[in-house]
Amino acid sequence: MELLIGLTILIFSAILHEVAHGFVADRFGDPTARLAGRLTLDPRPHIDPVLTIFLPLMLILSGSPIIFGGAKPVPIDPFNLKEGRKDVALVALVGPLTNVLLAIAGALLFRFLDALPIIFPELVGLILVLIVKYNLLLAIFNLLPIPPLDGSKVFAMLLPEKHANTYLSLQQVGIFILLFLLFFPVGGFSLMEFVSNLLNFSFSLLLPL
């Protein structure tokens, strides 16, 4: 039951993440996502075989302490954006920010219900806890500076344009770099442990259970 609820929350949180990208891009002058029919909560246009199905399933089967996935990235044409690289970074940032806001909303609702002089159903508490957990996880993962994750587009703003373009070109193999770093520590650094610790810390700030 918890796994099913968690995956459902993960999928719809990832969809809201992508819709936020497309909505802000549309406001900044790029209608690509809207014209592609991606500004919708219907999950079908957002399903990605790797991010939505393969990656979460592999993490579950491997016994990973964290489960992560995502929706198909919305199409963005940076040449349509009014302020180029700056707007690209803002469009990228709004996705993780949406997940942070969803996590905060879930935590506030949990605290509100918990303060009432009644006992609310355990299932409601579980759903709210998982909303906080998975949205924090989506925000943390997507802010990692590994192309094509959102954090890479924000980090690219700090680089000269030539170097930024070379760095962002790694997005073709970025998912494999991410998977490698998740499962194989490098130089004593474990990305899985880093994300897990950051998740636990941020979760404890919102819901000190």
Other Cβ atoms less than 10 A from the Cβ of 141: the count is 24
Strand partners, 186: 189
Quick check: is 193 catalytic? no
125, 111 contact by CB (below 8 A): no
What are the angstrom distances between the C-alpha of 83 and each of 19, 31, 90, 112? 20, 15, 10, 41
Residue of 2, 18, 83, 122 marked catalytic: 18
* Residue whose C-alpha is closest to residue 134's, from 8, 1, 41, 21: 8
The residue with tokens 């999928």 is 11
| 62 phi and psi angles, rounded to 5 deg | -85, -5
> What DSSP assignment string belongs to 120-144?
--HHHHHHHHHHHHHHHHHHHHHTS
Q: Which residues are catalytic?
A: 18
